[in-house]
């Protein structure tokens, strides 16, 4: 069966994420500015890049290569068009992280925002091991209502099949998983969202 993310229209996803009652697109954008800026690296990989939110914070003076990875080819086509100014730096890769992690190249920094929820800890650990970065910066969503992890919106039914692949996230469980593959927690911060949810940033460094 097709991964649900191959079937979700990018416009539905982005319009849902930027609603005033959701505010995830805007919050994530400001968090990504710091993710791209915080570490002394020249290569980065964004896992689950969707429409490329946050790529405007990539400095061509700092970055030689930024990989954008997603399972949805249509998303990657949009990213390439939207960020044509990053030509020569941005390289889009259509890779299924659960089944094809072996195809991932090396990068010094991995950014994985609202991604681990959809592939699980084990697949994420495997992907990070293949990429072998020095730093990993993740944003996970913490929910106050476990029965309603997708915020209510006019676009809600676009996400009906995500229950098939969704994993509930927990900060300590992620840190334990990262410790298993030799990464220690170096930063933790959170941003509250309008609907009682929170985006939690957890950064790790290879020991």
Q: Please, which pLDDT band fits residue 150 given cuts at 50, 70 and 90?
A: low
Q: What integer pLDDT is reported at residue 84 of this predicted model?
A: 97
- Give every strand in the sheet of 198-206, ordered side by side: 90-94, 65-70, 43-47, 109-113, 135-142, 198-206, 183-192
Q: Please, which pLDDT band fits residue 144 given cuts at 50, 70 and 90?
A: low
Q: What integer pLDDT is reported at residue 149 of this predicted model?
A: 44
- CA 12, 15, 21, 23 torsion-angle sign: positive
Please answer whether residues 134 and 107 qualify as being in contact, where contact means their C-beta atoms are separated by less than 8 angstroms. no
How much of the chain exceeds pLDDT 90, in percent?
Answer: 71
Rounded to an integer, what distance in angstroms lies between the CA atom of residue 206 and that of residue 2? Answer: 34
CATH T-level topology, domain 4-206: Rossmann fold (3.40.50)
Q: What integer pLDDT is reported at residue 36 of this predicted model?
A: 98
The mean pLDDT of 59-71, rounded to a whole number, is 97
Average pLDDT, the chain: 91
Q: What integer pLDDT is reported at residue 13 of this predicted model?
A: 87
**Range of lowest pLDDT (53-62, 108-117, 154-163, 193-202):** 154-163
Residue with tokens 């930024």, as numbered in its chain: 66
Please give the DSSP secondary-structure letter assigned to residue 49: -
Res 2 pLDDT > 90: no
**Model confidence pLDDT, tens digit, residues 176-189:** 999 999 999 999 99
Prediction pTM value? 0.92
Res 75 pLDDT > 50: yes
Res 195 pLDDT > 80: no
Q: Which residues contact 8 (CB under 8 A, 6 or more apart)?
A: 72, 158, 159, 162
Query: Which has the higher per-residue pLDDT, 47 or 11?
Result: 47
**Model confidence pLDDT, tens digit, residues 84-93:** 999 999 999 9
3-state SS, 69-127, equals: EECCHHHHHHHHHHCHHHCCCEEEEECCCCCCHHHCCCCCEEEEECCHHHHHHHHHHHH
């Amino acid at each position: 069966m097709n991964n649900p993310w191959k079937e979700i229209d990018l416009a539905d996803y982005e319009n849902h994420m930027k609603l005033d009652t959701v505010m995830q697109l805007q919050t994530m954008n400001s968090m990504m500015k710091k993710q791209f800026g915080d570490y002394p690296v020249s290569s980065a990989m964004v896992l689950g890049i969707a429409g490329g939110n946050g790529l405007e914070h990539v400095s061509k003076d700092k970055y030689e290569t930024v990989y954008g990875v997603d399972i949805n080819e249509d998303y990657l086509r949009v990213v390439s068009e939207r960020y044509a100014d990053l030509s020569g730096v941005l390289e889009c890769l259509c890779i299924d992280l659960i089944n094809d992690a072996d195809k991932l190249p090396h990068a010094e920094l991995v950014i994985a925002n609202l991604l681990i929820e959809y592939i699980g800890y084990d697949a994420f650990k495997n992907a990070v091991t293949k990429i072998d970065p020095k730093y990993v910066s993740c944003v996970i969503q913490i929910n106050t209502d476990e029965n309603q992890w997708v915020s209510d919106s006019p676009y809600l039914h676009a996400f009906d099949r995500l229950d098939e692949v969704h994993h509930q996230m927990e900060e300590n469980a992620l840190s334990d998983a990262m410790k298993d593959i030799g990464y220690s927690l170096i930063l933790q911060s959170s941003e509250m969202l309008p609907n009682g949810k929170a985006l939690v940033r957890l950064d790790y460094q290879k020991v």
